[in-house]
Structure 1
Amino acid sequence: MNKNIDAMLINPYDENALKNALGFIAPPMNLMYLASSLENESYSVKIVDDDLLQMGYENVSEMAEKLNPPVVGVTATTSTIKSALKYVEMIKKILPESLTVIGGPHATFMPFETLNSSEHLDVVVRGEGEETMVDILDQSFQEVPHLDNVSGIVFRDYKTGNLKSTPERPLIKDLDSLPFPARHLVPFESYAASKEQTAGIITSRGCVYSCNYCSSSLIMGKKFRSRSPDNVVDEIEELIDKYQIRDFGFMDDTFMLNKRRANDIADEIKTRGLDVSFVASSRVDRVDPGLLQNLKSSGMKTIYYGVESGSQRILDLMKKGISLKNAEDAVKIAKNTGLEVLTSFIIGYPGETKDDINKTIDFSIKLEPDYCQYSILTPFPGTPIYNELKEKNLIDNEDWQEYTVLKPLLKYEKMGLNKKMVERKLAAAYLKFYTRPKYLLNHRYMFKVMLQTVLRSFIIPKLRGSTSNGWYQNLDK
C-alpha cells in the first residue's frame, strides 16, 4: 500500500449561478460512496471538495503532490467537465505516474470525447462507480496493471495510443451491500446553509420512466433497485448518532415508486422513535392521501414535484406520462396533508410556443405551491432530447460550461422563438411567482432569497448590458 493516500477523489468547482446565488453547496454524495467502497477494501482515501473549499487548481495540485496518490479520480457533470479536466491536467504534470480517472454523467455518455479532450486523462468510468473504482485500485497496485480486466471503463492504452472500451459492468443488484457514504471524509459541518445541518440519503437507483429530457434511466438503469427499509433507517440513525443530524432529504429519482416500501420506511422511522425532518420527491401520479399522511407522521415536511409544464401538449412531447389534473390533484393532496410543496418547471422546450410558456407560468401560480423552481431546457448529453436535437442540428452551443439550466442553448429562431425571449420568460416566471402580494405575506423569508437569486442571476447581468429599451420593462414580450 502507498504510505500516503491510495486514492484522491476531487469534486471540481461549479460556477452554477443559481446554486451560488442561493448559497447552496451539497456534499459530493457520489464521491462519498466511492470512498466508502474503497475504504471497505482497506484503501486509504482523501476527498477534496473544491466546490466547497475553492482552493483552486494549483493548490489542489500541490496537495496531490504531497499525498502522492497512485490514483486520482475526479467527478464531473456536463457543466464541470472542463474544470475536471483542468485538475487532471495539472496533477498529471506533477505526478506523471498517477492514474487519472474521470466519472460522472457527462463522461459516462461521452467517454471517447472526454478522453480525446485531454492527453493527461487515462480512464473514464461509465455508470455506477463503486465496484469499478475498487477494481481500478486493485489493478493500480499490480506489478503489471491490466485495465482490460476492469469492466465498465474506457481507457487509454499508452503502448498503442488507442482508446479501448471494456465490457459494460452489470448494475449493482443488492444496494444494501454498499457501505454508507464516507461522510467522515468531508468537512460536513461546513455545508450548513443555516443553523440546521442537513444531509442527503439515496435509498434507490434506477427509473422506469422515459422522460425525454432526463438521463437517469440510462445511467442507473430502467429497473428500480431499492434498499431495504431497515438499511435506510440504519443510515438515518447513523446521521443522528454520529453527526447529530436530524434534517435530511431523500435524493432518489423515484422515492415513492414503490408505495409499500415508502410506507415501510415511514413505519420503521416511527417504530424506532426517531425525531427527524425530511424532504422527498415524487412524480405527481405516485401519491395518495394515506401515503403522504404516513410519511408526514414520520417527519416529512416538504414534497418536491417535477411538474415541468402547464401545457398538456408539451408534457406529451416531453414523454412525461402525466396530466395537468395529476399535478393539480397531487398538490392538493399534499397541501391537505399539511406538507409544504415545491414544484419545478422547464421552459424553452423544443416545439413550445410563447403561449405554452405563458401557460406554464400561469399554471405554476394556479397550483399555489409554497416554492417554485424554473429552468431552461438544457439538452444534456445522454438524454433522448440531446440526440434528437443534435441530429436536427438545433443545438447552438456545446460550450459545456454554459449547461447550467439557466441559459438558452438551442437555435430557437428555427423554432419560432428566440433566446432573449426565453431568458426574459425565465426571469418573468420567478418574478411573477414570488412577488405576488399573497405570497409575500406568507413567505417573507423565501421571497428575499428568491429575489436575490433573480437579481444576481438574471436581472442585474441583463441591466448591465441592456440598452435604453429597458430590459426589465420588457419581461413579458
Structure 2
Amino acid sequence: MFLPVSKEDMLSRGWYYLDFICITGDAYVDHPSFGIAIISRILESEGFKVGIIAQPDMKDPDALKALGRPRYGFFVTSGNIDSMVAHYTVAKRRRSRDFYSPGGKMGGRPDRAVEVYTKRLKQLYPELPVIIGGLEASLRRFAHYDYWDDNVRQSILFDSGADLLVYGMGERQTVEIARRLKKGGKAKDMTDIRGTCFSCTADFEGLDKAVVCPSFEEVKTDKMAYAVGCRIQYDNQDAITGKAIAQKHGDKYLFQMPPALPLETAELDKVYSLPFERYYHPMYEKDGGVPAIEEVEFSIIHNRGCFGACNFCSIAFHQGRRITVRSKESVINEAKELIQNPHFKGYIHDVGGPTANFRQPSCKKQLKYGLCAGRKCLAPTPCPNIEVSHKEYLDLLRKLRSLPGIKKVFVRSGLRFDYMMQDDDDTFMKELVEHHVSGQLKVAPEHCSAAVLDKMGKPHIEAYEKFSRKFYDMTKKAGKKQYLVPYLMSSHPGSTLKDAVELALFLKRENMRPEQVQDFYPTPGTISTCMFYTGIDPFTMKKVYVPRDAHEKAMQRALLQYFNPKNHALVVEALKKAGRQDLIGFSRDCLVRPLNPVRRTEKERAMPVHKGDKKRKWQKRRKS
C-alpha cells in the first residue's frame, strides 16, 4: 500500500493526523532507487504515521497544507537529482523532459526546489522543524560554486532557512532525529548527530574541536581559499577519520558533524526488505506514468559507495568511498519478488550500484583506519595494497541467473574496467561476456590524454586499451557480437584543444564513433567543479587550464565527433587553432578534408589514371 498522498488516503487508514510529512520534487515513486521512498518507509517502520506531498504546485498557497499539520515536522528533498540539473542542460538551456515527473513533463518542481519548499513551510508552520536532505541539500551543504548563477552561494542551510541538514545516505540520521522529536526534543538542540549540519554561533562549545574551513566571505572572493576549503571538506568525508568542520557565514557558522557510519549488511538488508510498492503511484496513470521507473523497475541495487572517486562525480561526497553491500540472500529475495511481478518478462536489467563490480572494500586496512585522505585506490595507477576479487559478485550473478523464471541477468551499471584488469582470475570477465552483456557494455574511459585523466581522477588510457583487447578477444571466442560503448567527456578542466585533438585521433585509430558526447557539467560539490571555478587543483594547489569559452567548448565537442558533416567547419577551425593543419587533408591520417577542396572536372573524372598519376595531378591542382 502506498503511503497517504491525500486526506482521503489518511481517513481510509483511520488516521486523523500525520507525524511527519515528506515533501519531494519528484513524482511519488515508491521504489528503493528513490531516496524519499527509503526515508518515508524507514519512518513508517519506526511506527510513525507518514504522508507524501509530491511535486506540490507552488502557485497554490495551500499546496503544502494538503495533508494538514504534522505533529513533529517535515522532511524535504528536491528529489533524486539537483533541481537545477534536472531543469537545465550544460549549455544552460531549459530541458524539454523531466524523467522524474508524470509523463516526463517539465514544470513539476521549481528551480532550487529545496529552498522554495522550505521557505514556504517556514511561513506556514514557523513552529515546526524542517529537515532537508537528498542530493541537492547534501552537495550544497557548504558555501559552493553555483554554475547557473556563475557565483558562489552560501550553504543551502542558510539560503533555505531549514533547521537541520542531513547529508549523505540519511537512514541513521533520520531515525535519530525522528525519535528525539517524538520525545519532545528541539531541532536546535540536535548538535551531536553524525551526518548532519546545523547553524551555530561563535560561543558553541564544539567549535574549538572542529576543523575550520575558509569562510563563505573568503571563498566568495578568494579562489585560493575556495580550493583550500574544498580540500578540507573532502579530506574529512571518511566516516572513521573525518572530523567536524565549521565554516563561518557572516555572524554564524555552518557546523558539519562527522559523516554517519555506513549501514552494515544486515541494516542494508532491512532497508531493502521494507514494503515498497516498487512502482509509481497510480494517480500518474492518466499522465502515462513516470519515465524514471523504466530504468529501475527490474534492476537490483546490491551495493553503496565507490572507492573509484572520480573527481567529476558526486558519489564520494554523498555516499562515501567505503563499499557496503547487501547480503546475497537479500538480493536473491528481491529477484524472487520481481519474478512474481506481472510486468516481469524474465530479464533483470541490472545488478549494480554506483560501481557494479565493487563487492568488497579496496583493502581491509580501511575498515579500521579509514580510506586514505588525498589518495585514490585506482588512479592514476592501482594502489599496491588493493585487494581485487570478483568471486562473491560472480557467485551472486550465478545464483540469480539460475532462478526459475529468470531468462537473463544483465549488468548495466558502471563497471570499473581498471579494477577488473587487476583480477588475476579471468572467470568473472569470461562469464560477464558470455551471460551478462545485452549486446553493448557501457564503460567510461572518459578521455585518452594522461594530463586530462589525471585531473579527472581516472586511470590512464592504457588500462582501457588492455581491457578492450581482452573484451573483444573473449567476445570472439564466445561467438557473440557485442560492443563496448565508451562514455567520453569534453572540456573537463585540464583539457586543451590539443588534448581534444589527441582524443579524436585515438577514436579514429580505434574506429570508435561516439553518438553522444557529454560536455563537463560543473555540478555542486565536486572536485572538478572546484577546478572549473578556481582554475586550481585543490589537491596540488597548482593552476589548471579550464575551457570556459562556449565556442572553444563547441570545438572540443566537435573534435570528438569529427566524422559528423555538421561539425566539419568547427573541426577545421579547431585543428588550425591547435596547430594541427597536418590533419586537414585527404590522406588516411587526416581527420577531415579541407573546407573547400579542389574538385576535379568532369573530363578529369572520366579519364582513367593510375593511382600514382592521380595523386600527382591532385597535388599539382592544389598547388595552383
Q: Normalization by structure 1: what TM-score?
A: 0.71
1:114 equivalent in structure 2? 156
1:284 equivalent in structure 2? 417
Query: What is the CA distance between 1:134 and its match in structure 2?
Result: 1.6
Q: Distance in 2 between matches of 1:195 and 1:225?
A: 26
Q: 1:306–1:344: 8 Å Cα contact kept in structure 2?
A: yes
Opposite residue 58 of structure 2, the aligned amino acid is: Y
Query: What is the CA distance between 1:283 and its match in structure 2?
Result: 1.5
Query: What is the CA distance between 1:147 and its match in structure 2?
Result: 2.2
Opposite residue 518 of structure 2, the aligned amino acid is: S
Q: Does 1:7 align with 2:7?
A: no
Query: Residue deviations 1:270-327, cap 9 Å, x none?
Result: 2323234532320222447632443466554243211100323322332312434235
Pair 1:334–1:286, CA change in 2 (3 A): farther
Query: Residue deviations 1:193-217, cap 9 Å, x none?
Result: 7999844432111222343323323
Q: Give aligned pairs, total.
A: 409
Q: Distance in 2 between matches of 1:207 and 1:224?
A: 6
2:117 equivalent in structure 1? 87
Query: What is the CA distance between 1:422 and its match in structure 2?
Result: 0.6
Pair 1:314–1:151, CA change in 2 (3 A): closer
2:353 equivalent in structure 1? 252
Q: Distance in 1 between matches of 2:36 and 2:458?
A: 30
Q: Distance in 2 between matches of 1:29 and 1:340?
A: 31
2:174 equivalent in structure 1? 133
Query: What is the CA distance between 1:187 and its match in structure 2?
Result: 2.8
Query: What is the CA distance between 1:243 and its match in structure 2?
Result: 6.2
Q: Which moves more between the two structures, 142-151 or 194-203?
A: 194-203
Pair 1:369–1:383, CA change in 2 (3 A): same
Q: Distance in 1 between matches of 2:471 and 2:57?
A: 43
Query: What is the CA distance between 1:114 and its match in structure 2?
Result: 0.9
Query: 1:146-161 alignment to 2 at 5 Å?
Result: 146-156=189-199
Q: Distance in 2 between matches of 1:11 and 1:284?
A: 36
Opposite residue 313 of structure 1, the aligned amino acid is: A
- 2:41 equivalent among 19, 36, 45: 36
Query: Residue deviations 1:241-290, cap 9 Å, x none?
Result: 24634443345222113411221121111232323453232022244763
Opposite residue 191 of structure 2, the aligned amino acid is: D
Query: 1:199-210 alignment to 2 at 5 Å?
Result: 199-210=298-309
Q: 1:10–1:73: 8 Å Cα contact kept in structure 2?
A: yes
2:397 equivalent in structure 1? 266
Pair 1:352–1:162, CA change in 2 (3 A): closer
Pair 1:178–1:354, CA change in 2 (3 A): same
Q: Does 1:294 align with 2:431?
A: yes
Query: What is the CA distance between 1:74 and its match in structure 2?
Result: 0.9
Pair 1:122–1:65, CA change in 2 (3 A): farther
Query: What is the CA distance between 1:344 and its match in structure 2?
Result: 0.9
Q: 1:198–1:247: 8 Å Cα contact kept in structure 2?
A: no
Opposite residue 335 of structure 2, the aligned amino acid is: I
Opposite residue 354 of structure 2, the aligned amino acid is: D
Q: Does 1:169 align with 2:170?
A: no
Opposite residue 39 of structure 1, the aligned amino acid is: E
Which runs of no fewer than 5 residues in structure 1 stay unpaired?
15-25, 396-410, 437-458, 460-470
Query: Residue deviations 1:140-173, cap 9 Å, x none?
Result: 3232334235332113479x98755444321212
Q: Does 1:239 align with 2:333?
A: no
Opposite residue 71 of structure 1, the aligned amino acid is: F
Which runs of no fewer than 5 residues in structure 2 stay unpaired?
1-13, 85-110, 143-154, 205-251, 360-389, 574-624
Q: Which moves more between the two structures, 141-150 or 109-118?
A: 141-150
Pair 1:66–1:318, CA change in 2 (3 A): closer
Q: Which moves more between the two structures, 192-201 or 172-181?
A: 192-201
Pair 1:82–1:10, CA change in 2 (3 A): same
1 or 2 for the larger relative contact order (CA 8 Å, sep ≥6)? 1
Q: Distance in 1 between matches of 2:435 and 2:61?
A: 42
Q: Distance in 2 between matches of 1:195 and 1:362?
A: 36
Q: 1:207–1:223: 8 Å Cα contact kept in structure 2?
A: yes
Query: Residue deviations 1:77-117, cap 9 Å, x none?
Result: 45547222112222332333332222234533442511121
Q: Normalization by structure 2: what TM-score?
A: 0.56
Opposite residue 321 of structure 1, the aligned amino acid is: P
Opposite residue 306 of structure 2, the aligned amino acid is: C
Q: Which has the higher helix share?
A: 1
Pair 1:109–1:38, CA change in 2 (3 A): same
**Structure of higher CA gyration radius:** 2
Q: Distance in 2 between matches of 1:162 and 1:95?
A: 25
Opposite residue 178 of structure 1, the aligned amino acid is: V
Q: 1:207–1:224: 8 Å Cα contact kept in structure 2?
A: yes
Q: 1:347–1:374: 8 Å Cα contact kept in structure 2?
A: yes
